[in-house]
Structure formats: C-alpha cells, structure tokens
Structure 1
Amino acid sequence: MRRLLAAGFLVALIPAGIAAPEDEEPAVAQTPLVDAAVTTRESLRATAEWLARGVDSWFGDRPFEEGGAVRNGRFDLRLLLRERKSPDLGARFNASFRLPNIERLGAQLFIGRDNPREVVTDQPNALSREQHLQRRDRRDDAFFAGLGVQGTGGFDFRVGLRGGPKPYAQVRYQHAWRFGPADTLDFRETVFLTRDDRFGSTTVLSYDHDFSPTLVGRWLNAATITQRSKRFEWSSNLGLYRFFGDQRLLSTEAIFRGREGGGVNIEEYGLRLSWEQPLHDVWLLGEISVGHFRERELATDPRRGLWALGLNLKIRF
C-alpha cells in the first residue's frame, strides 16, 4: 500500500497535457501498482457488502440482492508534511448503503472511520482539518456507524455510535436559494447531542457564484457551539475553482479559523493551492496541495508562518 501511495502521488504531479504516443497505452494502465489499487478497491467493496448483508439480516429476511447496494464508498490515504511537525500518514473511509430490510423502516446505514468530532458536529469536508493541511491527532480518529432517516421539508435525522463506543444523535435542516442562473445560497443547521458536549449546533452558510461553466467562486462559513463550551468555533473558506474536464480541478482557497473568547480573533489564516486529477479510470484520483499559513494560538504568542504539503490518494468504490 505504501508503494501504491508513492506511485499515485508521482503520477499526480505529471502535467495533464503530456500524452503518451498514439501507438502506446498510458503507462499508468500497465503498472502493477494500479493493479494493486484495483485489488484494494475490490477488497473494500467486498468487505463493505459483507458487512451490509450481515447488518441488514438483523432487520428481516429479504435478500440483499433485492435492491441492496454500496453507495458513495470512499477511501483516502493522505500524507501531510507541515513545517516544524513530524510527517503524518493517515487513512479514512466513508460509505453509505441501500439495505432492503432497513429501507422498509425508512432508514439507511452509514459507516466510516474519521475524526469523530467533525462527524458529530457535521463539519463540511472543505473545512476539515485535513483540508486545512493541519496535522490530525490519530487518537481522535475512530470508527463510527449509524442509521439515517430522510425526513420531509429539508429535515433528516441520524443516530449512531462513535469510538468508545459513544452514542450521538443529529437533526439536520437544509435549504438552498437560487438567485438567478449563477448564484446559490445554501443554509444548513445541525443540532446534535453527545455525552461529552451535551447539546450543540453547527451553522453552515455557503454562497456560490458561477463565473462560467468551468469557473466557480465559493464563500463557505461554519460555526459550532456546544452546551459545554458555550463558545463559538468558526472557520471560513473563500475559494476559486477551475474545472478542466475529466475530473481535473484546480483550487485556490483563502482559509481562516478562530474561536470566540480565545484572546485571538483569528487563530490561523493562509492560502492553499490544490490540483486533483484521475490516475486511473474515474475511481482512482490523486491530489496535491501546498499551503502557507500564519498561526497564533495565544494573544501573547508571536504569529508565525509555516508551509504545508498534502498528498492524497482517493479510491472510490
């Protein structure tokens, strides 16, 4: 798997405009490392389906083949290099399922391994620690699983277990407004309950503007408060995204984060530049990100600058 990671990242650095000769197939299609990725993907899907069959059988005797399926399966292997920090290699995955017996109850199963706080507080992926090129504490990563019910009027509900195991519950409301053909405002409010935080809520507001069919601007904001802390934690992302077709994406983002009452209005801000492209077919992708940030945790600390590099291999299954 480590060889697969290294080769995937090297391929991600190859300019998209360099093509193989017409009488040769692309080299990536012939490498044994791509074969290893295929094997990994098949193993992930087989394991997910095995788990889904077992869980669904608890709720009835309808065969899994009658409508059962793995949905939105994703496995990420990421290497993070941040100045003055040790290298961080980590993995995460997420998947949801269509399960015939559970769907008769109006519910869907979801499982994964990720930062449990980000899962419970319903943080947007674009504002996660990984996307900010921040080192993840492996002790904070945990498995989680649960059931979700899609309600009406923009509401949905989730109950689940995260590492510990610790129970949690979520109620989420979403709504979008269109302002002409190029502007969209998305609002999301999630109220959650955990043993550690008790009641809490996360508010997410996103404004998108389409400059052209291939160029999009986005301003994404999120704020979280809990009954225990009673202080807002907030983050903001102002980005410009250029699509080149075939799942190739260039992103430029200004990133900010802070906490109310911490003595520092903005704990960290910086710029992040990312390139993503397929490495094989449509399910194996590579992403490289570079960022420069200025951080200060305490008002008495001097603000210091640092560089960060993120390399990510994504397998969809």
Structure 2
Amino acid sequence: MRRCFLLFPLIGYVAVVSAAGPGDLALSPDAAAPPLAVDTQDASTLAARTPAEEESMMEQGRQGVRAITEGVARTVDGWFGDVPFEEGGKVSGSVRFDFLARQDEGLRNNFRFRVRMDLPNVKRLGYLFIGQDNEQEEVTDQPEAFTRQHQLLAESRRDDQSFFAGVGYALREFLEFRVGFRGGVDDVYAQARYKKLWRFSDRDVFGLRETIFWRSDDGFGSTLALNYDHAYSPSWSFRWQAVGTISEETSGLRWGNSFGMFKAYPNLRESGLEALVSGETDRRVGVGEYGIRATWRQPVYREWTFIELSAGHFWPQDDDDPERRRSWAAGVMVEALF
C-alpha cells in the first residue's frame, strides 16, 4: 500500500506542470481537500507506521492530488466567466504504472495519466482533457482491448508516448468532437466520434464506434470498433471485439479481433481469458500474430486503487521480421483513480 500512496504526489506534480504548460470518469469535486502531503521520512520510519497511519496518508495523498487538479480547473474556468465552480464543475482522472516482461525483451515500464475537467464557464465549449499515453492510439482512438499495453507489447517512452491536451464537445449522447495537440502545440489532431448501442435482449448487447480523425502530419483516417456481449449468467459473459483502422499513412487496413470469456466476482474482482488475432491487409502475410491472454483485476485499496495481472503467449506469422518472435509475456498494471 505504501507504493500506491507514492503515485499521488507524482501525478499531482505532473498534472500541475502539464496544465501550466500550454479521459472519462465523473467524481464530485472535493473543495475541502487538504494540501498535498510530502513524505520526508526514511524507509525505517515508513516501515514502522501502523496500517491506520498508512491509510490516512493514502487518503490525504489522493485528496491532495484532487485539490491540486481542482485548483487548476477553477483557475482556468475563472478566465471564461463568473459562474461558481460548484455549479457543475468536476475533475476526475487516473494514473497508471505499467510493467511488462516479454521474452527476449527484458523488463519495460511506462507511466500514463488522464485528467478530465468539466468547467461551468466553459460548458458551452465542452470539457478540457490532458494526459500522457501512446500518441498513435490516442489519435486513432483505439479501443482499450487493442492497445499495446493490453496486448502486452513493448513501448518506448520516447518514441511511442507523448503528452496531449485539448477540448471535447458532446453534440449529442452519440456524437462527440475533440480537438487537441500531442507532443508540441504544432502537432494538432481532431476527432469526430459516433457511438451507438443496440440491446437485443437482457443478455445481448451490440456496440459500434466510428471515429474519423485528422492529424497535421499524417492527414485523415478512420477507426471502426465493434463489440458484442452475451451474458450467460450474472457473472459469466462472452465478448467479441473487433477493430479496423485505415489512414493515409497505412498501405492497408490494420485490424484486430478478440474472443473472450469473462467472469465477475464480488468486491470488483474480475478475470478474463481471450484469444487474439491481428494483422494488416496489403502485406505479404495478412495475419500478423495470434495470441492468448489471461487477466485478473482487483482493487488493492478501497475502490479506487486497482492492480491488473496479465499473462499471454503470442505466435507471430511473419518469420522474416526479426523483431517478431514467438514469446511469452507478463504484465502488471497499477491504476489509481482520483
């Protein structure tokens, strides 16, 4: 638990620096949050703390991050009008630490965060968002199941990840527009997202999400994501997911499919077993890789700090690519919500 507490001072610092420079949970703001706690004691003192003291510190750390984030939101909102922040203002976000061990690649780690700010005075313009994540996946709007993180693929902080920020506006509950920048202010992107759910019965749900995107350096593209869920019981379900992305920078369609069984347990615990296949058209080998992945997710502190364990085995089909080898992979993700 001591490690979880250390997440919050770091994300607080990043959030302030990022917002001062140039998403989507909904938690009520906590205006009375105490200031961020700074721990200057050594390891021997930390080890001597009681569980109650650790719990109090973790709560203070989380509330401190919310207070810092909300303070930035109030300041920005005040630039656009005099409506009190309490009249519809909200801040929410998450911070993740990922650790990946893939055969022949060693251990890698990454840091991600997302913050969403709903501002009363900016409501006519939409909401603000900031974060750090895989820049290509952010722009092309990839479903979480097909991100490199969840497919246990290594990422480079320097080459794959970047800071992003922008403004979003929901025209209807099914239509949303976002404009932002990634990396530097000259690297602009825009998205128009349409999403729709069809409930055929109490047990069957089909979803569609289409995102048309544009980025200043690569031009236009589109991502289509489909998913189908069938509930066998209140705790067991089958899920099929598919995604396809095409853009001016790709020679064909990048696609992926996932077929999996998921089980929910009491106290927000869940497990999953999925079969994965992905590839790209207009290549010598159309199917790029097969794989299987097992996951377990549960809270480790209250209902806002989670750990997710993943393990998988992958079979690449292009033997001429030296970077794609048959391999085992395992991942650990720690996520804190605020």
Same fold (TM over 0.5): yes
Cα distance change of structure 1 residues 219 and 228 upon mapping to structure 2, 3 Å threshold: same
Deviation at 1:113, TM superposition (A): 0.8
Corresponding residue for 2:3?
4
* Corresponding position of 1:243: 264
Q: Is the 8 A contact 1:122 1:202 kept in 2?
A: yes
Amino acid paired to 2:134: N
Q: State the 4+ residue runs in structure 1 displaced beyond 3 angstroms.
A: 5-8, 31-40, 296-304
The question of whether the paired residues in 1 share the 8 Å contact of 2:94 and 2:115 is answered with: yes
The aligned residue for residue 337 of structure 2 is 316
Match of 2:80 in 1: 59
Q: Which amino acid aligns with 1:171?
A: A
The alignment partner of 1:246 has SS state of: coil
Q: How far apart in 2 are the matches of 1:160 and 1:240? A: 36
When residues 301 and 91 of structure 1 are mapped into structure 2, their CA distance, relative to the original with a 3 A threshold, is closer
Q: Cα RMSD between the aligned structures?
A: 2.5
Q: Which amino acid aligns with 1:132?
A: Q
Residue in 1 that maps onto 2:132 = 113
Q: Is the 8 A contact 1:7 1:33 kept in 2?
A: no
Count of aligned pairs between the two proteins: 295
Note if contact 2:5-2:57 (Cα within 8 Å) is conserved in structure 1: no
Unmatched runs of 5 consecutive residues or more in structure 2:
8-49
What is the TM-score of this pair, normalised by structure 1? Answer: 0.85
Aligned partner of 1:276: which letter? R
Instruction: Tell me which of 106, 110, 130 is aligned to 1:90.
Output: 110
Q: How does 1:1-317 map to 2 (within 5 A)?
A: 4=3, 30=51, 37-71=58-92, 73-103=93-123, 105-139=124-158, 140-152=160-172, 154-165=174-185, 166-297=187-318, 299=320, 304-317=325-338
Cα separation, 1, equivalents of 2:214 and 2:104: 36
Tell me which moved more, 117-126 or 48-57: 48-57
Give secondary structure in 1 for the equivalent of 2:227: strand
Q: Residue 3 of structure 2: SS of its match in structure 1?
A: helix
> Partners of 1:163 and 1:302 in 2: how far apart?
27
Post-superposition offset of 1:81? 0.6
Residues 316 and 301 (structure 1), Cα distance of their counterparts in 2 relative to 1, 3 Å cut: closer
One-letter amino acid of the counterpart of residue 129, structure 2: F
Indicate conservation of the 8 Å contact 1:123/1:202, yes or no.
yes
The 3 A distance-change label for structure 1 pair 249 and 7 is farther
Distance 1:179 1:286, change over 3 A: same
Question: Given residue 279 of structure 1, which amino acid in structure 2 is its aligned partner?
Answer: V
* 2:220 alignment partner, SS class: strand
2:172 maps to a residue whose letter is T
Q: Greater RCO between the two (CA within 8 Å, min separation 6)?
A: 1
The one-letter amino acid paired with 1:311 is V
TM-score, with length taken from structure 2: 0.80
C-alpha offsets along residues 224-257 of structure 1, whole Å, 9 cap, x if unaligned? 1112324211111111110012110011111122
- In structure 2, relative to structure 1, the CA distance for the partners of 1:137 and 1:155 (3 Å cut) is same
Tell me the residue number matched to 2:15: none
